[in-house]
Amino acid sequence: MLKFLSIRNVVLIDKLDLDFPDGFVVFSGETGAGKSILLDSLGFVLGSRADVSLIRQGCDKMTVSAEFLLKHKNENLVDICKEYDLDFSEEIMIKRSLSADGKGKIFFNDQPITLKLLKEIGACLAEIHGQFDNQGLLNPATHLSVLDSFGGYSDELVKLKKIYYEYNTASEQRQNAEQKISQAKQDEDNLRHWLTEFEAIKPKKGELEALEEKRRQMMNSEKITENMDSAYKALNQNSGVRDALRQAMTAVARVNAVTNDKFADISGLLDTALINIEEAGEEINQVLSDFTWNNDSIDSVEERLFSLKSLARKHNVAVEELSDTWLNLAEKLKDIENSEDNIALLKRTETELRNKYVEQAEKISSLRKKCAAEFDKKIMAELPDLKMEKAVFVTAVDLKDENLWNERGMDSVCFTAATNPDTPRGQINKIASGGELARFMLALKVNLAQVSQVETMIFDEVDSGIGGATARAVGEKLARLGKNVQVMSVTHSPQIAALGECHFKVAKNVSQGITTTGVTRLNETEKNEEIARMLSGEQITDEARAAAKVLIGA
């Protein structure tokens, strides 16, 4: 509930601080006294569009602060604050300012927030209803949510939402697969031709580096063989090196024979040197054998390199990527060949999930129709008291076209009405007059108060176009609604004002040529005098005072 409102420099209000009680609160005052300024200020602090024209003349900034006290847990507000990491308890303070240059600041419990976030938070704290409130309950776009809130089958709706997204995902996967395969089939002939080329060449990973190294060796083969041949001859000509080593080994062996192998390590070194020389000779001989290239061998390497590079250019990839490209093309062709089986599997999955969705949506549709009948019965029960005993209210629950199904089901919901028995039903916001709309909305609110998490409802001239017994009936409904939530009503009707548990009077004051708007909380005597004024006008008569007492005491 709204506990406290502080206004600074808004139009005719220079400074105003108001404390509010729970229950049914009324505001009255002469036309032009400034009642709308209160609503504009409250709307401003709840997230409505800022307008610098609201700033009091001669001031450079306006500020509005509102304190709310939560009596019950507000799940929607909890979720929003959790998402944005905002701290709050039972008491919430919102402060919003606007400078003449159009810049503003917003604070939620001393934490800065954005205007978008303020709008979300404000919608959780209070509802402001005007005479033509087509953005609230009278807007057909809200009717589905209103009915679902009244029905209280949220768990079933959560289940439907989960199934819908699974079904929607499966449908997208099937469509994407069909699109992909359709595109691939257009390239099927090309794929088969390309794969034939790859099969003929059979590129391998790492092949380019090996071929280029081999080509480098081939191009230097003459120099390699010439030097290797010289090395081989040096090792083997006239048996020079080997014979010298063997002679040295024999000589050292004689010394070791008479010195008890004192120089055995030298013999070992010579023996190893001989083995290494013989192995080196064999390696050199093998190199000479390997480098007996012919022109055909060199040409084949060049031809292979050319084929690989030509294929890589054709597919706009590096030579090293050819083997992966080959694999990808083969997989694409395989997908095409297996496409019917894959699509059939995706279709089966999609159909199974669609059936689950339809089953759950039909279950919810049944709950909605049952709930609508109960809701209509309750609304109809309110209408006679509001002097609309001939009116008919019907919540229409209709099946939407399949392309309009969504996570909330397959239903469209619309509140329809006929204000007279001989007139056809139509959308409530198109059939009813302004006064009738206000009364329909009041009947709706009375029944939705039990399920709404909003604890403050403000009605701006809900009595417009009505009077007498009808106005009294509207006042009784507002007072009844005030038993569940805090209700504030700006009214010109004495019948409604008389039922207020708390009465504020809005009036203009002129001091030293400066006009300001003030708000006063009335005591019982002042309340009686104000209602008498509302009954008789400027000249308050004793008869009006007596009538006011009757209204208040009725």
| pLDDT tens-digit readout, 521-549 | 999 999 999 999 988 877 888 888 998 89
How many CB atoms lie under 10 A from the CB of residue 299? 10
Confidence at residue 484, expressed as pLDDT on a 0 to 100 scale? 85
Of 311, 337, 363, which residue is a domain's last? Answer: 337
Residue 104: inside a domain: yes
Query: What does pLDDT average to over the chain?
Result: 86
- Helix (H) / strand (E) element for 446: namely helix 434-448
Six token digits for residue 244: 């010298």
* Confidence tier at 34 by pLDDT (50, 70, 90): confident
**Which regions of 76-223 does DSSP assign to beta strands (E)?**
91-99, 104-108, 111-112, 126-129
Determine the Cα–Cα distance for residues 486 and 42; give it in Å rounded to an integer.
15
Which of 337, 356, 375 terminates a domain? The answer is 337
Measured CA to CA, the distance from residue 460 to residue 129 in angstroms comes to 6
In a domain, 350, yes or no: no
Band of the pLDDT at 132, cuts 50, 70, 90?
very low
Indicate the Cα dihedral angle 431, 435, 439, 442, nearest 10°: 110
Q: What is the pLDDT of residues 351-378, one digit of tens each?
A: 999 999 999 999 999 999 999 999 999 9
Rounded Cα distance between 208 and 258, Å, is: 62
pLDDT at 436 over 90: no
Looking at residue 252, its pLDDT comes to 85
Verify that 40 and 124 share a domain, yes or no: yes
pLDDT confidence of residue 290:
67
Residue 66 pLDDT grade (very low, low, confident, very high; cuts 50, 70, 90): very high
Query: Which uninterrupted H or E stretch holds 321?
Result: none
Same domain, yes or no: 191 and 333: yes
Handedness of CA 357, 363, 369, 373 (dihedral sign): negative
Q: 114-119: long-range contacts (C-beta < 8 A, 24 or more apart)?
A: 115/47, 115/50, 117/80, 117/84, 118/46, 118/47, 118/94, 119/46, 119/47
Q: Would 358 be classed as within a structural domain?
A: no
How confident is residue 554, by pLDDT bands cut at 50, 70 and 90?
low
Tell me how crowded residue 513 is: count the other CB atoms within 10 A of its CB.
5
Which of 448, 442, 444 is CA-nearest to residue 472? 442
* 367 lies in some domain: no
Q: What is the pLDDT of residue 145?
A: 86
Q: What percent of the chain has pLDDT over 90?
A: 34
Average pLDDT for 27-46: 86
Residue 159 is predicted with a pLDDT of 96
Domain limit, last residue, from 337, 359, 383: 337
Give the count of domains, the chain. Answer: 2
Give me the pLDDT at residue 552, please.
Answer: 87
Residues in the chain: 554
Domain membership of residue 144 (yes or no) is no
Q: Which one is predicted more confidently, 460 or 165?
A: 165
Where do we find the tokens 């706009």?
A: 316
Closest by alpha carbon to 94, among 128, 55, 61, 126?
A: 126
Q: How much is the average pLDDT of 36-64?
A: 90
| pLDDT of 297 above 80 | no
Q: Are residues 201 and 95 in the same domain?
A: no
Rounded Cα distance, 504 and 7, in Å: 16
As given in the structure block, the two tokens for residue 368 are 């909605």
Report which secondary-structure segment, H or E, holds 330.
helix 322-337
Looking at residue 26, which CATH number applies to its domain? 3.40.50.300
For the stretch 380-416, pLDDT in tens is: 998 888 888 889 999 999 999 999 999 999 999 999 9
Angle between helices 143-151 and 434-448 in degrees, nearest 10: 30
Q: What is the pLDDT of residue 134?
A: 43
Domain that holds residue 121: 1-129+461-466+486-521
Q: Is the dihedral of CA 231, 232, 236, 242 positive or negative?
A: positive
In the prediction, which pLDDT does 385 show? 82
Tell me the Cα Rg of the chain: 46
